[in-house]
Structure 1
Amino acid sequence: MRIELVDEFTGDLGRQIVALTGAIRHPNWQFAFPANPVLGWLPDFSAPDLGVGDLVAAVDANPVAPQKIVMLSPAGTADDADLDQLISWYGATAPTLLGDALYAVKMVDELELPYTVIRTLPVVRQGGGQKLSPEGEPMQGQATNQAALAHLFGTALQTAQYQNQSIGLGE
């Protein structure tokens, strides 16, 4: 299985995932898919709606369909947080971020491919939560531990454990 990771996220989360999985890291969707790829996507949270358009175009343009897609999403896309919580985590732009992220998740779902959405609080290197939250269960805390997030993302890429699920990681 060949894992292709598109890393538009700030920080070095993508590098950690590559170290754990052996994924091939790309800055964008401008590459030809190998046979039966597993796709990972770490979107730029300032514009996930724009990035998903590039993802959909890449899937449509490639003659090879991916085995699955694993994507990162901010909390709030699975009825797991209210607007006040989102603003406390992501600031005044939280309503826009939520709308954009909901659109991105919907577009990935509409590709009708196996997928996993991993929802996160703001990512920190030290401290932060490591508790899994199923879809619809409120996410708690203020941050998500980056190493735990990289491990969860790697597990979703390499196994079917969280396939066709939205799973949160918080405190």
Structure 2
Amino acid sequence: MNNESSTTKSVRFVELGEKTLRALAEGDLAGGSAEAGVALDEYFVSERSRHIFGYRADQIAKDPSAAPWIARAAVSEPDGTVVGDAGFHGPPSEAGVLEIGYTVAPRYRRRGYARAMVKALLARATAEPDVRTVRATIRSDNTASLATVEGAGFTRVSEKANESGGSDIVFELELAGRR
């Protein structure tokens, strides 16, 4: 393990609004970076990212009030490098459930950034008094992410089939005193 991976990481989030997400979904990295105000890398216009960002842009277009919850670039502190994206699948449900999602760009993986993203997402969720439960759905073959959420205190609550023929494991974390 190198020193960089053993150092505790910290991230801040930069909102990726509908215009940014549309630019990225169209493969316009320069436009998306300019709109976001941060230097995004090629990961943000990969086939997978373009699909997800198009979906999220549509989600925001349908419900603009969801924008503060949806997509964020994860920026490493203090150096300012964009290391991935994170956010919630939408605003909290009426039952107080908020689902997190995060991805570390391939060249920054295995350095502690996923842990930093989850920590920052949990801090945001905890700041909302109506949030009782934070959920994470992880592919069963994503061992790094499984370890990340388990290490953050999430508990496995179910498993379900996914569209690729594999399975997803659903984890939840009950926020203290909020039942």
Q: TM-score, normalised by structure 2?
A: 0.28
Structure label with greater radius of gyration? 2
TM-score by length of 1: 0.28
Q: Which has the higher contact order (CA 8 A, sep 6+)?
A: 1
